[in-house]
Homo-oligomer: A and B are copies of this chain.
């Protein structure tokens, strides 16, 4: 299979596959006479694995670890689970941060009449000295 085909079958853009190869996440595939990358169905499985792990929000570095564990017949499932649980933690943090933003924005838009007039609590609050803490980052608690 050429890169275009595995790209379609894995859901990873060809550019991205080459990029993953260049950073060492993926092993270098065989090359045809003409210099084209040639992939086996095994390679395709790896690409699928990578694509799914990325979709779950794992960083490229994490995917590297997951791939290593996947290939290691002697891994313990606890190592894998640990990575997954860390990932859930970081996702939870991001969700909380976004929900904070969302809350403030909802409040601001509800108080803004949104018509021709220039006065606007959104801008006022962003500028206002007294409003300090409503914009604070509460994700550290």
Q: Which A residues fall within an 8 A CB radius of B?
A: 45, 48-49, 51-53, 55-57, 66, 69-70, 72-78, 80-82, 84-85, 87-88, 91-92, 94-95, 98-99, 101-102, 104-106, 108-109, 112-120, 122-123, 125-127, 129, 131, 135-137
Contact = CB atoms under 8 A, between A and B. Distances in A.
How many copies of the polypeptide does the oligomer hold?
2
Question: Main secondary structure on chain A at its contact with chain B?
Answer: helix
Given A95-B99, A98-B91, A118-B74, A135 B84 contact: no
Given A84-B122, A109-B88, A55 B137 contact: yes
Given A49-B127, A52-B135, A95-B95, A88 B75 contact: no
